[in-house]
Amino acid sequence: MKKILLVIMALSIGLFASVGEGDKALPFNLKSLSGKSYSMNSFKGKVVLLNLWASWCGGCKKEMPEFYKLQKSMGRNFKIVAVTIDKNSADAKSFLRSVNKKTHMRTPFVVLHNPSKSLARAYKAEGMPSSYLIDKKGIIRAVMIGSLNHNDIKELKKEIKKLK
């Protein structure tokens, strides 16, 4: 009977726990907005910032131009992987076009489309946007819930440099 209780408790803990620092990054297989397939292995050996965002999310829209600058400044061993959970990819594309116009840049990172929201569900994302800093070995080193401002990005840069 005790064993059953332990199993139930373990299951209930697993049900509530979200993915956190020290956990392995969850595998995925998604298509980019341009139709190319990517998995977590595509970014092996690189420091990755996995960003869950949507065009209907105000905070996500606010931080996106900062990510453009971040990717440009951090070079090749660092990749931002932006996963949009928009139902309609046209909404994400239209928003990114507006950011391109504003920043005078072309989207400098991979944008994956996940209309089923399976990745956000798997990560049990506590907020929108959610960002996960993943090291070269695929271990999550930082979890950032909510929109990142200029100062947060500064701190993030330090973390990325440590991991590179």
Partner 1 sequence: MKYTITIVTMLIFSGCSSKLVRVMPYEKENFAMIKMSLSPLAERSEQEGHILLIREASVGGDSSFQGGCGCR
Which residues contact partner 1 by CB under 8 A?
A: 1, 4-5, 8-9, 12, 15-16, 52, 54, 56-57, 85-87, 117, 120-121, 124-128
Per-residue CA distances from 153 to 62, 73, 78, 91 (Å): 13, 11, 14, 26
Render 95-162 in DSSP notation, one character per residue: HHHHHHHHHTS---SEEEE-TT-HHHHHHT-SSSSEEEEE-TTSBEEEEEES---HHHHHHHHHHHHH
Smallest distance, partner 1 to C-beta of residue 1, A: 5
Compare residues 72 and 121 and give the one whose CB is closer to partner 1. Answer: 121
Smallest distance, partner 1 to C-beta of residue 162, A: 29
Smallest distance, partner 1 to C-beta of residue 9, A: 8
Smallest distance, partner 1 to C-beta of residue 72, A: 28
Compare residues 54 and 140 and give the one whose CB is closer to partner 1. Answer: 54
Compare residues 45 and 58 and give the one whose CB is closer to partner 1. Answer: 58
Compare residues 127 and 154 and give the one whose CB is closer to partner 1. Answer: 127
